[in-house]
């Protein structure tokens, strides 16, 4: 009896480790954290932004990233991959910074954060789509890329209207 309990206790951590150590676990983790951040920052910007363009972009982030997050959660659950339930530390810091800003300063800081976030997201999803090991994660990345590119185009337009220059990536 003691031996079977001991062997069960030894197997559980190995099973948990192998699920979280899937070849595409970094993609799942980073995509989930980014999606959570986009929804949280979008909600904040819908409330705090002074520019209607920024508010409209933020609403699109909440809607589109919320939908992508739901698909990612379903996919990860089918693979036994545990996703984070909060944004990364860096993304939490960005939210804290934005939370104390207001007016035009908030709008411009949010725009800059979105330019950076979408550049990083496009790079992450491109990499997964081309070199991922999990065919379902690759398909999710490929299917989501056009929306991320649409977001990048939209935030570039918002940035240009606000007088913010952006690098041409993504």
Q: Which helix (H) or strand (E) holds 134?
A: none
pTM of the predicted protein model: 0.85
Closest CA to 59 of 69, 49, 72: 49
State the pLDDT confidence band at 159, using cuts at 50, 70 and 90: very high
User: 7-16, 29-38, 59-68, 131-140 — which is least confidently predicted?
Assistant: 7-16
What pLDDT, on the 0 to 100 scale, is given for residue 13?
39
Domain 23-161 has CATH 1.20.1260.10: yes
State the pLDDT confidence band at 168, using cuts at 50, 70 and 90: low
Mean pLDDT of the chain: 88
Closest CA to 121 of 152, 84, 89: 152
5-22 pLDDT, tens per residue? 444 444 333 333 334 556
Mean pLDDT of 50-54: 97
How many residues would you count in the chain? 170
- Contacting residues for 83 by C-beta, under 8 A, at least 6 apart: 28, 29, 32, 72, 73, 76
CA distance 11 to 114: 43
Mean pLDDT of 19-43: 89
What pLDDT, on the 0 to 100 scale, is given for residue 23?
78
Q: What is the DSSP string of 116-137?
A: HHHHHHHHHHHHHHHH-S-HHH
Q: Is 86 helix (H, G, I), strand (E, B) or coil?
A: coil
CA distance 98 to 76: 30
């Amino acid at each position: 009896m003691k031996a079977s309990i001991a062997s069960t206790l030894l197997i559980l951590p190995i099973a948990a480790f192998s699920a979280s150590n899937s070849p595409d676990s970094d993609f799942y983790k980073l995509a989930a954290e980014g999606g959570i951040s986009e929804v949280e920052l979008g909600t904040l910007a819908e409330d705090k932004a002074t520019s209607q363009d920024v508010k409209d972009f933020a609403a699109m982030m909440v809607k589109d990233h919320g939908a992508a997050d739901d698909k990612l959660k379903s996919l990860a659950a089918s693979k036994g991959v545990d996703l984070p339930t909060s944004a990364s530390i860096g993304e939490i810091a960005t939210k804290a910074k934005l939370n104390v800003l207001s007016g035009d300063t908030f709008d411009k800081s949010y725009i800059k954060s979105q330019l950076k976030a979408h550049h990083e997201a496009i790079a992450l999803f491109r990499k997964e789509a081309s070199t991922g090991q999990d065919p379902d994660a690759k398909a999710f990345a490929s299917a989501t890329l056009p929306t991320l590119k649409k977001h990048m185009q939209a935030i570039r337009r918002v940035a240009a209207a606000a007088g913010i220059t952006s690098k041409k990536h993504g």
